[in-house]
Structure 1
Amino acid sequence: MLFSLARLRAVVLSFLLFTSFAFSKEQSLFTSSVTYCEPPETLLIQQFDIAYFAKNQSISFNVSAASVQANVNVTANLLLNVYGIHAVNITLDLCNILGGALCPLPMYNFTGSDSISLPESLGIQDKIPDIAFNIPDLEGVAQLVLTEVGTGNVKACVQATLSNGWSTHQTSVEWITGGIALATLLVSMWQSLSAEAILPFRLIDLLFLYQTIASTSFLSLNYPSTYRAFTLNFAWAMALFSTSPSSSLQPSIDRMRHLTGGNLANATSSSAVSLVNRKLSPYNFLATNTEVSLPFSPRAADTLDFTVLTRLAFTNNTTLRSGLALHSATQGGAVQTVTASSSNVLQAGIPIYVNSLHIATANAFMTVFLCSLILIACVLGVFLFGLALVFILGVFRRQEEDRKARLKSAYLSFIRAWGIRLALSLVLPITIFSFYQWTLEDSWLSVLLSVISLLILLIAVLYPTFLVLRNARRDGIEALYDNAQHLASNGPLYGQYRTPRFYFFLPLLVSSFLKAVFIAFVKGNGEAQVILMVILEGFTVISYLVLRPCQTRGGDIFSTFLAIIRLVCSGLLIAFVERLNVAPIPRVVIGLVLLVIFSVAVLITYINLVINSGIGGLWKCGRSGASELSGSSNVSMLEKGGRILPSDSNSSELMGRPNNPTPDGSDYLDPPFLHPFPVSPTETELNSVYTSNRTSTTMTVGSLLPRRWSFSPLNSPTGSSQVHEPTSSYNSNSNQGLSRASDAPPSLPHGKTRTVT
């Protein structure tokens, strides 16, 4: 019996030869998951770990299996599938090897862990290319099929996915991207005290880019493993956080679902790869599992020297590599059976994505809901702390009542603005997973919470949208930018756009809503999803090119660049449509191209964040201070081409905003918005900024016009074509601030200006 056990161990080792578990910095291959590809009848597996180390051509294994059926004569088919290529396909008649010791298959329990150095005569190193040890997210599968002689019935079928320890999904990347977003948030909150700050808008662009990368893996497509792993780095932006096996979050959601009518599969702590549909990566099986076996080939059987493996099994049964960390491939439960008709098969799209984070498909919405709830609670806590601080400062500093009221009003506007930004950042995750929860028909409580959360989100976004559109229709578009309180509260929607394009936020909101509809309700048809996404992103790019909505040319270029990136990447996703049957290697190459494109887009966005963070403004501010020390006047005015250009030191007061609302230099980020943010408490709207006197030929200037306006001197009342060029002077005895001398006042668009005292 001991002799038969050793020989059968040799057969098992020959199957496990191409699988391993090892450290990622060594050239090694290891088993990352194990499943039955047919219901087990003869061979039962409890643990299945094996490692191959290229450096010293050794294997380390930890296997626990049992043969439970007597008088069974079988043939063994060993298959190694790497990127859809059958690198090894060997069929052995066990009755013709080892003197028939394995015919019939002996009944035994096999449990062992060992380390064995393989002889060079096996030539294993020559059969495994070096790239297999270095390419991230290797797509390789080893399969062993035991078929009964005479009947052809499958007695056992086991599949093990392979890995080399390298992956594009790295925890460090998650922390870096999240840390940069958090740092941008803190600086943006400080800079948002000024209506001209660009960084708060760039923060939303950054989060939307993260969400776009993650959502590209939500479609029903056959993604290469390396690209799917890359998009997992940005799952946190969709409020999807991977949980540890010891966490109680997912088990709690499982219990809640089952108590409220849910019957779908629970979360698992084991690898989701083992449950992936066998037609998808990393399996890439286009036929059924048993159809890949080839007829018995004597030449193929001769390539393995089983006598050597048997001798090694006896002589090394006590040699165990010290310090080797072997983890069971069946952690979290017994080895599962996955066939084409199994109910536990993970289909492409959201199921594979969320289960890769150890989140069950039916738990996806509840995970997003709870994480969003925690985020909202943290934000409310910060806002309440700030409100209490404002109240305390007002009490102890004994400020005047009107000043207290202004401070409180400004802070409430600040809260409303950041509430809108928070809602905008949650639009895509909440809508996608709410709609997707409706398609599952699982737990009535989950569906109810998804409806409530979606309604609250719509109110948080649509109500300020209604206010913007109503004010634009009632008071005119200019009023949106002239009304300081309205701009401070609802500016996150339209503040970065030019006056004629204030409505441009509407197409972007509609685009996010349609993306959620395409992902959730068109699931199962990846081809239709990709086509709809390409059309949607194409319209977005055209709208940016035609309308050019941003205040500055740089803003238009940056926004158009991100839109083009989304369009190009959506087009490349066509290669992952299952019906096209693109070969695995070209798909991997296209996945790497997508990875590079999105990575470059993220880096360029980071550069844009740095530029708009105020670092450049500090340099300009220093140069401005040096020029003041050289003797420049604080009240000098330069007239050029009919346009008044104030000096740096006095411009902010004339424009009706604080001198330095952002100490980090946000006033110098980009060219200022065309509509300044008025905050002066003595600001009034007049029918005309100029009060002319024909006898004195003097007029008083209220506040400066935006830079795109120019003065057009009128003809004199006597009909003379002579135009008197105005000159500027400073009257120290007048409380009107500045005075100008001219024969006739220039025309003023809209008939409205401000007077600042």
Structure 2
Amino acid sequence: MLARLALVLLPLLPISAASDGVLFTSSVTYCQPPDTLLIQQFDVSYMQQNNSITFDIVAQSVSNVSVSANILVNVYGLTPVNTTVDLCDLLGGALCPLPQVSFNGSQSLPLPAELGVSNRVPAIAFRIPDLEAYAQLTLIEVGTGEVKACVQATLSNGWSTHQPGVEWATGGLALFTLLVAAWQSINPLSVLPHRLLHLMHFYQTIATSAMLSLNYPLLYRAFAVNFAWAMGLFFAPHSRLQHSIDNMRALTGGHLANSSSDAAVGLINRKISPWNTNIQTLVSSPMTQSLLAETPVNDAPPTSLLLAFGAFQQLNAVAEVQTVTNDSSNVLQAGIPIYVNSIHIATANAFMTIFIVGLIVVAIALGIAALLYGLLYAAGRFSWVKQPTDHQLRSSYPPFLRAWALRLALVGLLPVMIFAFNQWSLKDSWLSILFSVLALLAIAALILPSVFLTMRLARRESPNALESDAQHLATHGPLYAQYRMQRYYFFLPLLVAAFVKAVVIAAGQGHGMSQVVVLLIVELAIVAAHILLKPYDTRGGDVFSTYLAIVRLVCTGSMIAFVESVGVAAIPRVAIGAVIAVIFSVAVIVLTINIFIHAGLNRLWRRGNRPSRAPSTLVSADASTLEKGESSPIDSRPVHASHSRPPSNYSATPDNNSVTHHSASASILSHTALNDTTHR
């Protein structure tokens, strides 16, 4: 049932172009220390069209022995191919015994029909994104049955749910939302700045969902990597940034593995995807060491069919083939190590990567802030605007900057906590640990004072004071302005949830079931809080936020199937991973539609029947009333039936209506294009 559902949903996922009916090599590793054979290149492909296996090998023999070769293919835990051939029958006997020189060998082996390989390899294997399959070559000494060499190669069909187009699209949406939100945010009650936080936090949810110690299907892990940029994990196969971090760590006590441009899939723990088995058991099993089937070989001259397929990703003279066994120290365990190494970032480099990216973002933000201040200064200096307006703009600018600094901190909170806590557990580089402490302190210095001041003002006066105090609203509004005033505190459980998630992800590595259970409890509590408290200004806001919370809950609960101890078979796990990816993708689409609506798209069909003026109680207060310190226009707006404050929205089309506040710090509202007020 799940497999059929996956077939229906997989076309909805982003996938890259692929060759038809071919499986080919994507990584190569030794499955036991090299003794007899040193590998430089090992390409294997299976051709569906003619039911044959082709291999191309560049190696060096260091032992003069006669061997047979066992070829095993594993697809999603199944072994449709497990055959042994005598190398003395290949290449005119040139490989019997193995010459103690470097040699190239290539051959196409048509598989006998009686093996039924074509029937046992389903057609979906050639189309499903991020195929989980590998081929293993084991050289067995003739006569003794002793394993002399073991090489394994993961196979791919060229399809993947990870591709740059998705990263550019999601990043473009975030940039668009940022630009429009920056314009609208001069009204503290506008919706889009809060949607920017929703968008970034949801991207981060998808990315972190693949950082648990679970046996994720390769398909889902590749999908989640599309959102790694939202965590600050920008990468490139040959990144100078990673090389610089490697050098820094080496000079400051770092001892863990450095970043690599090679594919990380070859180093993944053999018990989990894409291997789905204990390869050491297969190597040493009597079945592997026996001749399971004598495969006839063509007498035609040796050829390499790989040369006919220009789209293949061949391994060209790998500098060093890694040895990966159960006892190897270089095995990548499930969780953060596999995730970050999949994008060519070493586990010990993860925090420094987001730290440096964060510094770049802060530098850009400071540059934009300085540019805006320069424009404001020039406007006053050269009398581009009238004197009262110039004073109001300048007085409103500091709260505007502090509000955006708070938003920036809220976006960076989860990545900094996760990778700072993880850096502490690694105990790798003292400088990295120092920077992680400084980053946490900086985030705390931006968020905690706003939390304290907001809670103190609400307790000393009343929740309504949070909105009537325009100075406080303009500065600390990103925390609470989206909620109705009786539920101003709703940001507290969300901050606590973020902290718990960071601790569970970073400190719970190796305990997949515990991680899923704790996160499931957290998500269930958030859903319950949305349903019981109904924190938002409007019913639409409650429905939207509750929908996102339910999506997180359902996807987190579904990941129980990825816990190793549960033992779900590979194919059902892939189907569940595809379903989770589709659910997340649909939620991103819903977020996108909501963002465009609040960016002004809804005005395209509302323009014709919109009233020419807003109700008089929503326009502005008399200047003398404001000077006397009486109630502000925000206080005089009509109250929604079930809320303590009226719903409001920002519209980017200017007209003659203006919204003003009694505080000069918010008076910029009356001199910009956010002049008409509609119901949220």
Normalised TM-score (structure 2):
0.85
**Separation (CA, whole Å) in 2 of partners of 1:279 and 1:681:** 75
1:269-348 matches, within 5 Å, as 269-286=261-278, 288-289=280-281, 290-292=283-285, 294=287, 300-302=292-294, 304-306=295-297, 308=298, 310-313=299-302, 316=303, 321=307, 324=310, 327-329=313-315, 333-348=319-334
**Separation (CA, whole Å) in 2 of partners of 1:443 and 1:436:** 12
Higher relative contact order, chain-length normalized (CA < 8 Å, sep 6+): 2
**Separation (CA, whole Å) in 2 of partners of 1:516 and 1:686:** 45
Report the residue type matching 2:508 in the other structure: V
**Separation (CA, whole Å) in 1 of partners of 2:634 and 2:29:** 79
1:554–1:358 Cα change, 3 Å: same
Alignment deviations for residues 591-623 of structure 1 (CA, whole Å, 9 cap, x no partner): 011111111111111111122112223543443
Q: 1:269 touches 1:332 (CA, 8 Å); kept in 2?
A: no
**Separation (CA, whole Å) in 1 of partners of 2:165 and 2:634:** 55
Q: 2:66 touches 2:141 (CA, 8 Å); kept in 1?
A: yes
**Separation (CA, whole Å) in 2 of partners of 1:148 and 1:340:** 23
Name which of 59, 69, 83 aligns with 2:63: 69
**Separation (CA, whole Å) in 2 of partners of 1:279 and 1:242:** 27
**Separation (CA, whole Å) in 2 of partners of 1:515 and 1:468:** 24
- Quote the offset at 1:93 in angstroms: 5.8
1:79–1:651 Cα change, 3 Å: same
1:539–1:483 Cα change, 3 Å: same
- Quote the offset at 1:708 in angstroms: 3.6
Give the match for residue 346 of structure 2: 360
**Separation (CA, whole Å) in 2 of partners of 1:451 and 1:464:** 20
**Separation (CA, whole Å) in 2 of partners of 1:30 and 1:550:** 52
- Quote the offset at 1:486 in angstroms: 1.2
- Quote the offset at 1:681 in angstroms: 8.7
Give the match for residue 718 of structure 1: none
Give the secondary-structure state (helix, strand or coil) at the position aligned to 1:449: helix
1:226-265 matches, within 5 Å, as 226-245=219-238, 247-265=239-257
Give the match for residue 167 of structure 2: 174
1:87–1:322 Cα change, 3 Å: closer
1:244–1:651 Cα change, 3 Å: farther
Name which of 182, 192, 196 aligns with 1:189: 182
Give the match for residue 566 of structure 2: 580
Q: 1:32 touches 1:162 (CA, 8 Å); kept in 2?
A: yes
- Quote the offset at 1:682 in angstroms: 5.7
Name which of 32, 46, 65 aligns with 1:38: 32
Report the residue type matching 1:279 in the other structure: K
**Separation (CA, whole Å) in 2 of partners of 1:159 and 1:203:** 45
- Quote the offset at 1:394 in angstroms: 1.3
1:540-689 matches, within 5 Å, as 540-624=526-610, 628=612, 648=614, 650-654=616-620, 683-684=626-627
Give the match for residue 495 of structure 1: 481
**Separation (CA, whole Å) in 1 of partners of 2:626 and 2:244:** 57
1:220–1:120 Cα change, 3 Å: closer
- Quote the offset at 1:61 in angstroms: 5.8
Give the secondary-structure state (helix, strand or coil) at the position aligned to 1:459: helix
**Separation (CA, whole Å) in 2 of partners of 1:98 and 1:320:** 17
Q: 1:220 touches 1:523 (CA, 8 Å); kept in 2?
A: yes
Give the match for residue 432 of structure 1: 418
Q: 1:271 touches 1:356 (CA, 8 Å); kept in 2?
A: yes
Q: How many residues align?
A: 626
**Separation (CA, whole Å) in 1 of partners of 2:43 and 2:591:** 43
> Could you say what the CA RMSD is over the residues aligned between the two structures, in angstroms?
3.0
1:352–1:334 Cα change, 3 Å: same
Give the secondary-structure state (helix, strand or coil) at the position aligned to 2:300: helix
**Separation (CA, whole Å) in 2 of partners of 1:612 and 1:652:** 20
Give the match for residue 445 of structure 1: 431
- Quote the offset at 1:518 in angstroms: 0.5
**Separation (CA, whole Å) in 2 of partners of 1:297 and 1:338:** 23
Q: 1:89 touches 1:293 (CA, 8 Å); kept in 2?
A: no
Name which of 635, 638, 642 aligns with 1:706: 638
Report the residue type matching 2:595 in the other structure: L
Q: Where in structure 2 are there 5+ consecutive unaligned residues?
A: 1-15, 643-669, 671-680
- Quote the offset at 1:74 in angstroms: 3.4
Report the residue type matching 1:277 in the other structure: N
Give the secondary-structure state (helix, strand or coil) at the position aligned to 2:636: coil
1:465–1:390 Cα change, 3 Å: same
Report the residue type matching 1:329 in the other structure: L
Give the secondary-structure state (helix, strand or coil) at the position aligned to 1:194: coil
Give the match for residue 209 of structure 2: 216
Q: 1:526 touches 1:577 (CA, 8 Å); kept in 2?
A: yes
- Quote the offset at 1:51 in angstroms: 4.1
Give the match for residue 486 of structure 1: 472
1:73–1:196 Cα change, 3 Å: same
**Separation (CA, whole Å) in 2 of partners of 1:524 and 1:338:** 19
- Quote the offset at 1:707 in angstroms: 2.5
Give the match for residue 713 of structure 1: none
Give the match for residue 675 of structure 1: none
Give the match for residue 514 of structure 1: 500
1:96–1:473 Cα change, 3 Å: same
Alignment deviations for residues 350-408 of structure 1 (CA, whole Å, 9 cap, x no partner): 10000010000100000010111111111111111111111111111265655433211
Alignment deviations for residues 268-296 of structure 1 (CA, whole Å, 9 cap, x no partner): 10100010010010001146242455167
1:408–1:594 Cα change, 3 Å: same
- Quote the offset at 1:73 in angstroms: 3.9
Give the match for residue 721 of structure 1: none
Report the residue type matching 2:140 in the other structure: T
Give the match for residue 3 of structure 2: none
1:59–1:312 Cα change, 3 Å: farther
**Separation (CA, whole Å) in 2 of partners of 1:321 and 1:94:** 22
Alignment deviations for residues 663-713 of structure 1 (CA, whole Å, 9 cap, x no partner): xxxxxxxxxxxxxxxxx6961566799xxxxxxxxxxx9983433489xxx
Tell me the percent identity: 52
Give the secondary-structure state (helix, strand or coil) at the position aligned to 1:169: coil
Q: 2:39 touches 2:59 (CA, 8 Å); kept in 1?
A: yes
**Separation (CA, whole Å) in 2 of partners of 1:537 and 1:504:** 15
Report the residue type matching 2:243 in the other structure: P
1:255–1:702 Cα change, 3 Å: closer
Give the match for residue 5 of structure 1: none
1:117–1:440 Cα change, 3 Å: closer
Give the match for residue 463 of structure 1: 449
- Quote the offset at 1:348 in angstroms: 0.2
Alignment deviations for residues 306-343 of structure 1 (CA, whole Å, 9 cap, x no partner): 2x0x4231xx58x9847826654367631111111111
1:240–1:398 Cα change, 3 Å: closer
- Quote the offset at 1:448 in angstroms: 0.3
Give the match for residue 21 of structure 2: 27
Q: Where in structure 1 are there 5+ consecutive unaligned residues?
A: 1-21, 629-646, 657-679, 690-700, 711-755
**Separation (CA, whole Å) in 2 of partners of 1:681 and 1:432:** 52
- Quote the offset at 1:424 in angstroms: 0.5
Give the match for residue 260 of structure 2: 268
**Separation (CA, whole Å) in 1 of partners of 2:568 and 2:514:** 17
1:496–1:382 Cα change, 3 Å: same
1:406–1:681 Cα change, 3 Å: farther
Q: 2:31 touches 2:151 (CA, 8 Å); kept in 1?
A: yes
Q: 1:207 touches 1:237 (CA, 8 Å); kept in 2?
A: yes
Report the residue type matching 2:70 in the other structure: N
**Separation (CA, whole Å) in 1 of partners of 2:528 and 2:621:** 35
Q: 2:145 touches 2:289 (CA, 8 Å); kept in 1?
A: no
- Quote the offset at 1:463 in angstroms: 1.1
- Quote the offset at 1:552 in angstroms: 0.6
Q: 2:31 touches 2:280 (CA, 8 Å); kept in 1?
A: no
1:149–1:475 Cα change, 3 Å: same
